[in-house]
A = this chain, B = another copy of it.
């Protein structure tokens, strides 16, 4: 299996990050990966809140996060390990990710 594409940090674009995180489910997935540092599998986040996400949709959400430069994915055996690239992104766009994640956390709903 060919290695997955990951953009270099200098190629990461703000619009891609905003688009990726403008979906609350993707934002929740990213928050979980970031909090855990590394979530072992896509299937480890097979639901967000009480909402079950079909695995084809989940796969494309991970792809969007990966191509936006937010996570790094590598296969370990039969499963995928997803790492947050928040430190890199923070260096390139200071304050962006924390402000976004705080905004979601601050939401009442």
Contact = CB atoms under 8 A, between A and B. Distances in A.
Interface of A: 10, 13-15, 17-19, 21-24, 27, 92-96, 98-100, 102-104, 106-109
A103 B24 contact: no
A38 to B, nearest CB: 25
Q: Which 6 A-B pairs have the closest CB atoms?
A: A18-B22, A14-B103, A19-B22, A93-B103, A95-B99, A99-B99
A81 to B, nearest CB: 26
B95 A95 contact: yes
A21 B104 CA distance: 16
Given A19-B22, A22-B19, A23-B15, A95 B102 contact: yes
Contact of A96 (B17, B22, B27, B100): B100
11 contacts: A10-B108, A13-B107, A14-B27, A14-B100, A18-B18, A18-B22, A18-B100, A93-B99, A95-B99, A95-B102, A96-B102
Contact of A93 (B13, B106, B108): B106
